[in-house]
Amino acid sequence: MSWSDARDLLRLWREDNERKSQDVVNLWETILSKNIFKLGDERLLVLEQVCLASLDTNRLDIADKCLQSLAAEFPSSLRVRKLQALKLETLEKYDEALELLDSIIKRDETNAAPRKRRVAILRAKGKHSEAIKELTDYLKKFMSDQEGWQELCDLYLLEQDYARAAFCMEELILHNPHNHLIHQRYADIRYTQGGFENIELARAHYSLAFKLNPSSIRALYGIFLCATNIAVSPKATSPKRKEATKLANWVIKELSKRQERQNVEDSQVAALEGLISSVQLAASA
Amino acid sequence: MADMKLSVRAYSKIILHAAKYPHCAVNGVLLAEDPKSKDSKKGKGLYITDAIPLFHICLQVTPMAEIALTQIDHMASNSGLIIAGYYLANENIKDVGIERAGPRIAEKIAENYSNAYLIVVDNQHLTLNMDSFAIVVSQYVDGKWKTKERSSYTVEKNALDVVAGLLQQRAYDELVDFDNHLDNISLSWKNPHFNKLVEDLAETFGDQ
């Protein structure tokens, strides 16, 4: 592979925010470290990317070199200081890292990144409730930070606080009404909470996720589960039950179609058909 | 005499699933030979032959887990196996508890098989050389998960060498979990290709 191919690959991973740390480090060692000055303006971005990847893969030798180059270039940069705090995190020197981050926050109150690193450190220490508190304070100031809402949702799920996790997902839906993944995750949370209203809500969002992305298998399975649940629920009226049973049958057909298209063996559908027959017995009762 | 024996295949899949997603929590189910089937040898304890890796994305929500368990149950009963346990690896390196990663699934499995096993990966003992077994085994007794002593279970011979070999080859890229399957249904969560890799490597270590 030539150095320009490697550079393009790194750029692609940077833009897609992919965490291919081992691959980045390999590319750096084999190709890019010798050709670093051919990269022009991208050199600094690549140095930052390689620094993060090497911290991820415990290659502190590479991380040190990158940090030295970056610090030489920008001696008083807060962005470089944040990377130094990250290195302290890697070494599990959490208190020193927190001190460094606090100093960055003092220098620039509007800088979101060190505040988020503080939350990450609390999560790494296993202090989830403190991380949640810190993150909610952060989100009161930086309300439109979607990454923050996503992280808060994850933290609430870890603490099994499904109601608040659903609220975070609702915020994300407001920001991104056309993102099928958010609707699907919201539906997952509602389904997990259980109860007739939640399952109907889950079904609505799974259907929307499927409409936004017809190749989403998770959305299809989600519709199936909600439909089977509604069909046997004592709270559902008879027309709703019939509709739900029809929906479940439709999902099975869709799944079979997709499996045929991809030449997959059909044991998956057979298992679901077992579920459906038990549903039909119950719905007709 | 050991109450439980863990096969090379099951142990490899557990460890490699954790290694594939070092930044996530992962979970999966354990399949064992049905003790009630005619072929199994009576009185030799539970033989866990296989592990099915489930998820690495969001372990706390249940719908995909329900689908997975339905399909695995269907496949297991057609192959003389039962879902006998659950394994998980937490995202935090020091965490060996089960509250964070899907305790509901573990309890559901225990409902169907009363003495279900729970294997938690001990992240701090995961190394490329695999000097010791990086797992903590518990069993469901009287409504609680009781940790089992090392002497109460055995792992099939050569397991450590096989896993070290697989890790160094980066064989975890070939391992398919249920999340991978949901993203691309042509990938099979039964992992026939990976199972073959394990078998081939185990053979090279021979009958030491």
ipTM score assigned to the predicted complex: 0.90
From chain B, pick out residues whose CB is under 8 angstroms from the CB of A187: 63
For chain B positions 145-204, those within 8 Å of chain A (CB to CB) are 182-183, 185-186, 188
Percent of chain A exceeding pLDDT 70 equals: 93
pLDDT greater than 80 at residue B123: yes
Residue A168's pLDDT is what?
96
d(CA B128, CA B38): 40
pLDDT of A48-98, one tens digit each?
A: 999 999 999 999 999 999 999 999 989 889 999 999 999 999 999 999 999
Contact B119, B7 (CB under 8 A): no
| Cβ-nearest to A263 among B67, B100, B186 | B186
Residue B41's pLDDT is what?
56
Residue A285's pLDDT is what?
44
d(CA A253, CA A255): 5
Residue A267's pLDDT is what?
58
| pTM for this model (two decimals) | 0.91
pLDDT of B58-117, one tens digit each?
A: 888 999 999 999 999 999 989 999 999 999 999 888 888 888 777 888 888 998 888 899
What's the whole-number average pLDDT of chain A? 90
Contact A244, A236 (CB under 8 A): yes
CATH level 2 (architecture), domain B4-194: 3-Layer(aba) Sandwich (3.40)
Q: Is the dihedral of CA A255, A260, A265, A266 positive or negative?
A: positive
Pairwise CB contact (< 8 Å): A275 & B71: no
* C-alpha pair distances (Å), A27 with each of A1, A10, A50, B27, B41: 9, 9, 9, 31, 52
d(CA B22, CA B170): 13
d(CA B87, CA B117): 8
Pairwise CB contact (< 8 Å): A217 & B185: yes
> How big is chain B, counted in residues?
208
Could you tell me how far CA A131 lies from the centroid of its own chain? 17
pLDDT greater than 80 at residue A225: yes
| Cβ-nearest to B70 among A157, A265, A272 | A272
